[in-house]
A and B are shown apart, each in its own frame.
Chain A
């Protein structure tokens, strides 16, 4: 069971996404910079895969992040990491982007539903 401090101090929403998604969510007020620590990463065609992996792992280890929002198509690049992630906090949510609309086929919850009824 997690202690109170593990979830009470988690206030921030982290974002890994393309420029438009990050800009939009920062407009909504989620961005937070504390020294060298940022809670967002803009991914474009030049971003190396290692940078995405590194940032994802860093966000999952931080104690002040409650939710990690990641574009579904970017999550595909690091699918193994995302699928193997099993901590309670922070929670990961894959979100659609401008060029990649929401695909129910890839929704982790709906996959679970299929599994439950497919058994």
Chain B
């Protein structure tokens, strides 16, 4: 009994610290996004409203920022329902092209492995096709647009952190609920035992 209570306290403390980390992260994202929107508005002001809108998006764009979902085995075997924890990692295409040997899932990486002899040329042609989204809006873009891009990149990595934190929180919650049930069962048992002994005496 004592043991369960100690475990529950420990999980609850971890749970609360995860929540406070989540709130901190949201604060950070809000600041980054706010700055990003501000810089975007400034860029629109300097460039004119018609040069910075959705009609300027490149219709052949390729994602340079991608996700990698990895599976981590849950070390706490308490909660049977969540055997695995999924971890989200942000990858950029530069990273992907640099280490083609690593087990990955991008189509680009697979293509490089297939024809490894003309690896370099492939890489070069790929970089030509996948251009920085900043270029959609012109060659000489204002620094505010660059700054905005930086802010949005930071917010994006914050969002991925939020998703990971959220997964951990849900996992901890399941563990806590399970322990709570165990504790209730234990208490129920001891209560019936107690009443039985009272009857006997």
Q: Are B133 and A26 within 8 A (Cβ)? A: yes
The answer, yes or no, to whether A60 is at the interface (CB within 8 Å) is no
Shortest CB–CB separation between residue A99 and chain B, in angstroms? 9
When distances are taken between beta carbons in the complex, the residues of chain B under 8 Å from A24 are 33, 36-37, 40, 148-149, 151-152, 155
Q: Contact residue range for chain B?
A: 35 or more
Q: Please classify the interface of chain A as helix (H, G, I), strand (E, B), loop, or mixed, using the class held by over half of its residues.
A: mixed
A1-36 CB contact bits vs B (8 Å, 1 = yes)? Answer: 100100111111100000110111111111111000
The answer, yes or no, to whether B47 is at the interface (CB within 8 Å) is no
Known A11-B106, A96-B30; judge A42-B54 contact (CB<8 A): yes
Q: Contact residue range for chain A?
A: 35 or more
Q: Are A31 and B57 within 8 A (Cβ)? A: yes
Shortest CB–CB separation between residue B141 and chain A, in angstroms? 10
Q: Are B105 and A11 within 8 A (Cβ)? A: yes
Closest Cβ neighbor of B32 among chain A residues: A24
A113 and B23 alpha carbons, distance in the complex (Å) = 12
A39 and B52 alpha carbons, distance in the complex (Å) = 20
A67 and B159 alpha carbons, distance in the complex (Å) = 10
Q: Are A27 and B133 within 8 A (Cβ)? A: yes
Closest Cβ neighbor of B38 among chain A residues: A98
Q: Are A33 and B59 within 8 A (Cβ)? A: yes
B66-89 CB contact bits vs A (8 Å, 1 = yes)? Answer: 111101000000000001101010
**7 cross-chain CB contacts under 8 A:** A20-B41, A24-B148, A29-B65, A30-B65, A32-B63, A33-B59, A93-B162
Question: B residues engaging A (CB < 8 A)?
Answer: 19, 22-23, 26, 29-30, 33-34, 36-37, 40-41, 52-54, 57-69, 71, 83-84, 86, 88, 92-93, 105-106, 133-134, 145, 148-149, 151-153, 155-156, 159-160, 162-163, 166, 169-170, 173, 176-177
Question: A residues engaging B (CB < 8 A)?
Answer: 1, 4, 7-13, 19-20, 22-33, 39, 42, 66-67, 69, 88-89, 91, 93, 95-96, 98, 101-102, 104, 107, 109-110, 112-113, 116
7 new A-B contacts, CB < 8 A, other than A23-B53, A112-B169, are: A10-B67, A13-B156, A29-B63, A91-B88, A96-B29, A102-B26, A109-B19
